[in-house]
Amino acid sequence: MAEPLLELRALHKSFGGLRVTDGVSLEVMQGEIHALIGPNGAGKTTLLHQVSGTLAPDAGRIMLGGRDVTHLPMARRARLGLARSFQITSILPGFPVLENAALAVQARRGSSFRFFGRASREAALNAEALAALAEVGLEGRADAPAAALSHGEKRQLELAIALAMAPRVLLLDEPLAGTGPEEAERLVRLLSGLRARYGVLLVEHDMQAVFALADRISVLAEGRVIATGTPAEIRADAAVRAAYLGEDGA
């Protein structure tokens, strides 16, 4: 089997006496959607924070494409091919929609220490940005100020920014949160089509979407991975049913 794109090795993180990440190991392969589920407070977002570089783990390793990135800052990880969408929408509200994505393209296309020439008129950057917007169905809103988008549109933009980065690994933190059923269905189709290009680590509460999308699922409870397997295996796992699915009624 090939080397995993993203690999977490025995991550530990505590806040005070509270262990929020307790020896988590998992991997994401090229072309795979690896979903992370678990009850609220299981430590999913904290784990994503450590992967993206917002939080530093107390112990353990994070490998990205075979390279140890445990101690690299967020910006370096991003340049190494790690894109993250945030649970709470994080866009550039003062920028037009297109420029949100164009900046993501700019991050990997040549130096940003260019002091002259209008960046907003660079055709090469704008073309790629527009393609990313088109993928999420936002091309019609390219010139709108990002702050003026609806909540659902902002979620789409969030995803378009991640795609425009052309990353190797996508970290998606509840991409479906707050979207209506139709929008959710469209996003699920989109994500499904994306998997070939990336390795995806997906945190999502919508179980229907998770079981439809994921190639593998890891179940997190009290900071620990209690099961990893295909959707079918997870469905059948007694421990998971007891710890999580039973409670949630899903």
Number of shown-chain residues binding another protein (CB under 8 A): 39
2 binds another protein (CB under 8 A): no
165 binds another protein (CB under 8 A): yes
Question: Closest approach of Cβ 87 to another protein, in Å?
Answer: 12
In the list 11, 42, 97, 103, the residue contacting another protein (rule: CB under 8 A) is: 103
Q: Is 77 helix (H, G, I), strand (E, B) or coil?
A: helix
Angle at 87 between CA 224 and CA 92, to 5 degrees: 145
Question: Closest approach of Cβ 116 to another protein, in Å?
Answer: 5
- Are the C-beta atoms of residues 219 and 228 closer than 8 Å to each other? yes
Tokens representing residue 235 in the block: 């469905």
232 binds another protein (CB under 8 A): no
Q: What 8-state DSSP symbol labels residue 244?
A: I
147 binds another protein (CB under 8 A): yes
Amino acid identity at 92? L
Which residues in 73-102 contact another protein (CB under 8 A)? Answer: 73-76, 78-79, 83-84, 86, 90-95, 99
Dihedral sign computed on CA atoms, order 199, 193, 87, 218? negative
Which residues in 111-140 contact another protein (CB under 8 A)? Answer: 111-120, 122
Question: Closest approach of Cβ 6 to another protein, in Å?
Answer: 16
Looking up tokens 């393209």 gives 105
d(CA 63, CA 235) in angstroms, rounded, equals 29
Dihedral sign computed on CA atoms, order 102, 106, 108, 109? positive
Question: Closest approach of Cβ 226 to another protein, in Å?
Answer: 30
- Are the C-beta atoms of residues 221 and 213 closer than 8 Å to each other? no
Residue 84's closest CA among 167, 13, 156, 178? 167
52 binds another protein (CB under 8 A): yes
- Phi first, then psi, for residue 82 (nearest 5°) are -115, 115
203 binds another protein (CB under 8 A): no
Tokens representing residue 188 in the block: 């699920």
Q: Is 27 helix (H, G, I), strand (E, B) or coil?
A: strand
16 binds another protein (CB under 8 A): no
Question: Closest approach of Cβ 146 to another protein, in Å?
Answer: 9
**Which CB sits closer to another protein, 90 or 150?**
90
Question: Closest approach of Cβ 249 to another protein, in Å?
Answer: 30
Binding window for another protein (CB under 8 A); candidates: 36-44, 103-111, 134-142, 194-202: 103-111
Interface with another protein by CB under 8 A: which residues? 52-54, 73-76, 78-79, 83-84, 86, 90-95, 99, 103-104, 106-108, 111-120, 122, 145, 147, 161, 165
